[in-house]
A and B are shown apart, each in its own frame.
Chain A
Amino acid sequence: MRAESFAAVPNNECCTLREAKQSPEWPEWEKAIHAELDQLKRMGTWKLMEKPSGVVAIANKFVFVKKRDKDGKLVKYKARLVAKGCAQRPGYDYVETHSPVVRMETICAILAIAPMRKLHIQQLDVKGAYLNGKLKEHVFMRQPEGYDDGTGRICLLIKTLYGLKQARQEWNIEFDTKLCKKGYMRLRSDTCVYIWQVEEDFVIITVWVNNMLMFATTVELRNKAKADVESKWEITDLGVPSKIVGIELTISPDSIFISSSKYIDSILLREGLGCINSVSTPLDPNITLVPNPEGGDGDRSNLFASLLGELQYIANAT
């Protein structure tokens, strides 16, 4: 199994609980926090208990994100309680952490044949996906930041809360087991692709953490696949996909167009190059590149590295 790292989508402002409380958008954030706490309770994420002696409880915090659609419009305020997984001790609090995600190439390969075969495409999100994973290890956590009941009790985690090192893997195992039970076959060439076939008709499901794309030859099959997933987890139906892992999709009956213009825009803007003059080719053929002409170590900062990572992501995606 292989975990390919995809660059995070930028432009989602994050802040701490204290900053959120002081911001004019606090009512929105407070609503989001309550929605999150409700969901955690509903999923039976932990049980409160007296602190056993000798136990170290890991900390947690809220992460605030503004979700945007493909035009950059604000669609949702989202608060997510995350455990500070960095405090987990390897070998004791967690063992394995890897988890596969679908390859970009696979998605492109399937998208390319979609117009040819007139496939019906639909995108689904599993809500609070990680909270479906069962935690095998005993991990203790303090009560949610700012929402302590004052009794001094701590949480014994039952489900894999976001931020735990093993959350990704446990969710992937949970997803795989349940989908295979429903009769879907996992591909060997990409372990995040599943297929269900009846004679000439088929439905393909690709999964990127909690985000699924379905490609079906008929509407009935698409609805069947959706019902199968819905019977196991709580989902959000995103309809015909317009954005997947930062890449924009435009789907029309006889063609599919993919691009990453919003992503490029946001990077250019951040680097202060919002309205620079464009050139027609990436590199002048007459220039010879020399490694580090000024000598020295060059720019080794994280900012430069993350910029290079982002540029590579664009080059690999579209």
Chain B
Amino acid sequence: MCYLSGTRTHGITYKALPDRPDFFSGYTDASYGNADEYRSITGYVFLAGDGAITWCSRKQNSIALSSTQAKYVALSEAARKACWLRNLYTELGLLKEDVPTLIRGDNDGSLAMAQNPQFHKRSKHIAICWHWVRELVQEGTITVNSCRDPEQTANILTKALPHQKHTQHIAEMGLASA
């Protein structure tokens, strides 16, 4: 509540950026095992016109055994949202189907798993449903890219951050005072 009091005039600004075929992209992150029952927290945000259009921060349904697994789950949740956004924009005639949507994750392990269809012994226990992310990457629906902590905007949606990082990520989502 105290935080709200200080940010009541904050809002999101959508800017008129040059029209590009890949005008929206996402960030995804997860914090490993820091919620109650040792579950992990998914955070993702999609940006367009330098402003956040959709975001999410929630406890994962399953318990992850490694941070790679937690981040992979977060990546697949973000991928689902990306598919929905792509459907929406395609139906509105704003998106050409063949341009993949970029999602930036911050764990090399989970990104390698998404890009590489080889057998991973340590990841075998991840339920099959998460593996359709790989299929999306192969089909060219999404592309994944590495993006580490200082630039990882979705970090803010997974845990409480110190002041400096908090303000930085907020600005990256287009949030500012009027």
Contact = CB atoms under 8 A, between A and B. Distances in A.
B22 to A, nearest CB: 12
Interface in B1-34: 1-19, 23-24
A116 B1 contact: no
A261 B160 contact: no
Interface string B26-53: 0000000000100000000000110111
Contacts of B18: 116
A257 B178 contact: yes
B7 A278 contact: yes
A115 B16 contact: yes
B52 to A, nearest CB: 8
Contacts, number: 150
B49 A115 contact: yes
A258 B12 contact: yes
Interface stretch (B64-72, B83-91, B121-129, B139-147): B83-91
A45 B9 CA distance: 43
Nearest to B1: A273
Given A264-B4, A268-B5, A285-B159, A108 B13 contact: no
Contact of B93 (A202, A255, A264, A291): A202
22 contacts: A109-B53, A112-B48, A112-B51, A112-B53, A117-B19, A187-B88, A189-B88, A195-B93, A253-B16, A255-B14, A273-B1, A276-B5, A278-B2, A280-B166, A281-B166, A282-B160, A284-B160, A285-B159, A285-B162, A291-B36, A311-B4, A318-B10
B49 A116 contact: yes
A189 B14 contact: no
Interface of A: 105-106, 108-118, 187-190, 193, 195, 197, 202, 204, 248, 250, 253-261, 264-265, 267-268, 271, 273, 276-285, 287, 289, 291, 311, 314, 318
Given A112-B49, A255-B15, A259-B10, A280 B163 contact: yes
B144 to A, nearest CB: 21
Nearest to B18: A116
A137 B17 CA distance: 52
B14 A276 contact: no
Given A108-B54, A113-B23, A188 B15 contact: no
Contact of A261 (B11, B23, B48, B167): B11
Contact of B9 (A105, A204, A259): A259
Given A115-B49, A276-B1, A287-B160, A109 B16 contact: no
Contact of B15 (A193, A254, A278, A281): A254
B14 A271 contact: no
For the complex of A and B, list the 9 residue pairs with the smallest distance between their C-beta atoms, beginning with the closest. Answer: A278-B6, A259-B11, A115-B16, A283-B160, A112-B48, A254-B16, A189-B87, A105-B54, A264-B8
A117 B93 CA distance: 12
A193 B90 CA distance: 13
B161 interface: yes
A297 B53 CA distance: 37
Contact of A259 (B23, B92, B178): B178
A279 B85 CA distance: 34
A204 B92 contact: yes
B94 interface: yes
B88 A281 contact: no
Contact of B16 (A116, A204, A264, A280): A116
A186 to B, nearest CB: 10
A255 B16 contact: yes
Given A257-B13, A259-B12, A285-B159, A188 B92 contact: no
A117 to B, nearest CB: 7
A189 B53 contact: no
